[in-house]
């Protein structure tokens, strides 16, 4: 009964993790560029 909600929560968590990783990668790239 709770499977759809659990799947939606997992999808949201995965999306948040992906967005966080992307932001961290972008920040690292910007820092690397600024350091040059």
Span 1-24, pLDDT tens digits: 678 999 999 999 999 999 999 999
- Please state, in angstroms and as integers, the Cα–Cα distance from residue 18 to each residue in 3, 5, 11, 28, following that order: 22, 20, 10, 15
Q: DSSP alpha helices (H): ranges in the chain?
A: 3-35
Which token pair is 18? 């992906």
For residue 36, give the H/E element and its range.
none
Query: What pLDDT is recorded for position 1?
Result: 64
Q: pTM score, two decimals?
A: 0.66
Residue 31 binned pLDDT confidence (cut-offs 50, 70, 90): very high
Query: What pLDDT is recorded for position 2?
Result: 79
Instruction: Return the residue matching tokens 């929560």.
Output: 9
- Please state, in angstroms and as integers, the Cα–Cα distance from residue 10 to each residue in 18, 19, 34, 35, following that order: 12, 14, 36, 37
């Amino acid at each position: 009964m709770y499977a759809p909600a659990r799947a939606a929560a997992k999808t949201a968590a995965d999306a948040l993790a992906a967005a966080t990783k992307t932001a961290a990668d972008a920040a690292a790239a910007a820092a690397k560029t600024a350091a040059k």
